[in-house]
Amino acid sequence: MILSASLLVSLASAAAAGPPALVEVEAGRGWEWEAIDDLFSLPRPDHFGMGFVVEEGLVAAPLEVVRGAEAILVGSPEGPRLRAEVASVLTASQTALLRAPGLELPVTPLATPRPGAKVHLAGTLGRVISADERGVVAWLSAPPPPLAPGAPLVDAEGAVVGLHASPHEVCLPWGLRAYLVTARSTHELALHQALSQLGPWLSELPWLRGLLPTPGGRAN
């Protein structure tokens, strides 16, 4: 049985379902856990970012937010905070996968965008200019609101098409301005998602071992 990378990505995209649900990520060093009414509270986190659920209890977040952190909390904007730890790191997309037992949010679907496709960043509409396995570039109809690291670029169907979106203002002739956004490709994350869904027996195939993410308890 021969499984191509494109087939694995297709399986991952088809298996994921549900509306996108953003996850807030707080990380820092030297914190002390405080249990208050069975909730955990951490004053003044060193780093703050956004992520989304890619598997049950597994959150994709920017590596820069949790790198070197001794304590990590995740949760929906309106919900309680839960302890999390780094389960693995996807180096190409600079993404940390955070294991958060008890996090009950829907899995966010992934998709591969095409030039001209409608997208939005934090509610600001735009269209894809270019997209490949390295990343996505899109123009926006207006400047987006202030964003925390890790905000995803989302298509019209609610699927994430770009990771860790970063908006840019471009000055044009005659005083005109344009707003662009660059984001990392979802290809590596979709591949990880597919490998996890197809079962642990894939790890026994020699040609796939190099594709599996490296496990670890901390992103150094």
Q: Which residue has the higher pLDDT, 107 or 197?
A: 107
Q: Note the pTM of the prediction, 2 decimals.
A: 0.75
* Domain 1-16+109-209, CATH among 2.40.50, 2.60.40, 3.40.50, 2.40.10: 2.40.10
Confidence class for position 211, pLDDT limits 50, 70, 90: low
What is the DSSP secondary-structure string of 75-127? Answer: E-TTS--EEEEEEEEETTTTEEEEE-TT---PPPPB----TT-EEEETTEEEE
- Please check whether the two domains, 1-16+109-209 and 21-107, share a CATH topology: yes
User: What residue segments make up the domains of the chain, in order of their start?
Assistant: 1-16+109-209, 21-107
State whether residue 56 is helix, strand or coil.
Answer: coil
Tally the residues of the chain. Answer: 220
Distance, in Å, from the CA atom of 139 to the CA atom of 117, rounded to the nearest integer, reads 11
Query: What's the mean per-residue pLDDT of the chain?
Result: 78
* Residue 78 pLDDT > 90: no
> Which CATH class, in words, describes the domain spanning 21-107?
mainly beta
